[in-house]
Structure 1
């Protein structure tokens, strides 16, 4: 066994790929139900602690698996409001490994999920109807202020946000077996790290379009200045190797609503 040599490399590989052929609950059932009774017999405790089949080795192995699972793939256990799988793990750890690091991690994770649910509920109930006139006024003033920002500063801020999101991407979220199930209502919590990068991309694209098409009162030359500014920002993103924001800006400039501004594009230097 790999456990005998303290080689747990395959655990990371398994946690990254198991979703292609099994669910979290299925793997937990196979793992915990099969090895649910870890009572160490007297003979094992006296003479077989170092053997691969001993309960001591199994306890260490399962603790390592659960610790890695809770640390690397915490979203697997986010099943609001009941969190069935996480509660099953917590119950198992309290019975067989009280006071262990995996138990503390599971308990902290449960409290974290519950806190997030309360915060989301409070945020939902605190939403107030917005005044459309005030919202439009804020958008217009925001677009006017956009012209005051330096292109280098905007590109650097976009790069910082993109870098933060991409550093947090969970590799197995990119697998087709995960991403292909994202549209189902019960799977809305899947691949959150990938969804975050997509949301950022769409936000940048929408920002470009909204600043260009901000108001009917804008003159053609003013819109052309805005286009020039975004092109310069895209150039700075290219220099910073930020291809995500670069592509988002280019996509917005090539969108139908912006591309059809023939008079505006005619005022943009070649």
Structure 2
């Protein structure tokens, strides 16, 4: 195991500090280790202000361990920390003291609860969350981490009751009405203002993106989604993809809506979608922009040569410029550059780029090295992609 450390200068943080995904005061160059060693290193990393290591572990551990296993290793090792006589006499801040370790574990747990709350959403028993709460009540009573755990438990229990009530209140009549509205909406598409359509698409995409859980994008999770037993995996990603597919299908259906449409009428629909795509670009909504462009480039639409010939040249030039954004040249360099350089509040990325990167990383690099050691260098590279995604989610939440 390689466990060398690279240190960078940074201010000393207060003892009660909770780990932030943006902090990179120091980086622990741990390349491979057993699960036990990786967990054991967490409080040591906190004591050294090595928040990069902690965030990398929290964002990727699901690839090689379960929440209950990690929690068991962490709390069983540090669950009974007693204050020694020397600490009572004034050496509480010495490295390895019970006080320092309790603070480190509490802060790590709070970071875990803040960044990955869904790991503890296990109705109806909430075994892992109750284990955390029990530890914090015993070792850090009245602390912010304990309050966070208690609030999270109450939140989950409330959501569980609300979900039960919502399930029982559903009626087939309501679903039929919604379906009918979607059908009539397609027929009235020509009446909608382009700016309004783009704004509504951006609102829906942004709402879904704010709920994206970054670790749901992990290649090891996402690549298993199609197996029957994994239908529950990555729900936040499935929701964004369902919206993307809905937009794509809407574009195709409005263009091919009726055989009775004349060529020029169909060309007007194409032109309208291109202008909506342009508005999405202005709003930095790369998700719906990609969906519209993909739909217009689909075989069923793109083969309409006579229809495309009726689209004005300036609109066709606009379409070509928008299509160029998602060119696969140099690994989609244009879309990546536009996304990262132009990020503002409300920016909605095309999630497929991140999913592809993470699946490729997962496929290209080994999970375990010689001796059965976990390849933590792979997790560090995966975490780098997740950090970019995390920052986009954070901007969207502002």
Distance 2:226 2:157 in 1: 24
1:35-77 Cα deviation digits (max 9, x unpaired): 1102213333224312212110111000110000000111111
1:240 maps to which of 273, 277, 283: 283
Q: Is there any run of 5+ residues in structure 2 with no aligned partner, and where?
A: 1-43, 313-398
Q: Please provide the CA RMSD for this pair.
A: 3.1
1:83-108: per-residue Cα shift (whole Å, max 9, x none)? 22112212222222222211211122
What secondary structure, in the 3-state scheme, does the structure 2 residue paired with 1:47 have? Answer: coil
Gap runs ≥5 in structure 1: none
Deviation at 1:250, TM superposition (A): 2.5
Does the CA-based 8 Å contact 1:234-1:245 persist in structure 2?
A: yes
Distance 1:4 1:263, change over 3 A: closer
Conservation of the 8 A alpha-carbon contact between 2:47 and 2:104: no
Matched, 1:219 2:253: no
Moved more, 216-225 or 51-60: 216-225
| Segment drifting more, 84-93 vs 236-245 | 236-245
Distance 1:13 1:101 in 2: 23
TM-score by length of 2: 0.58
The answer to whether the 8 Å contact 1:139/1:214 transfers is: no
Does structure 2 retain, via aligned residues, the 8 Å contact 1:155–1:237?
A: yes
What whole-Å deviation, never above 9, does each CA across 1:204-253 have from its counterpart, x for those lacking one? 12322343455677666544433331122123334444332122112333
Looking at structure 1, the residues matched to 206 and 299 of structure 2 have their Cα atoms a distance apart, in angstroms, of 29
Secondary structure at the residue paired with 2:191? coil
State the alpha-carbon separation in 2 of the partners of residues 134 and 58 from structure 1: 58
Question: Shift of residue 175 of structure 1?
Answer: 2.2
Q: 1:75 to 1:189 in 2, by over 3 A?
A: farther
- CA gap of 1:56–1:181, structure 2 versus 1, over 3 A, is farther
TM-score, normalised by the number of residues in structure 1? 0.82
Residues 119/182 of structure 1: CA separation in 2 closer, same or farther (3 Å cut): farther
Where 1:6 maps in the other structure, the secondary structure is coil
How many equivalent pairs are there? 269
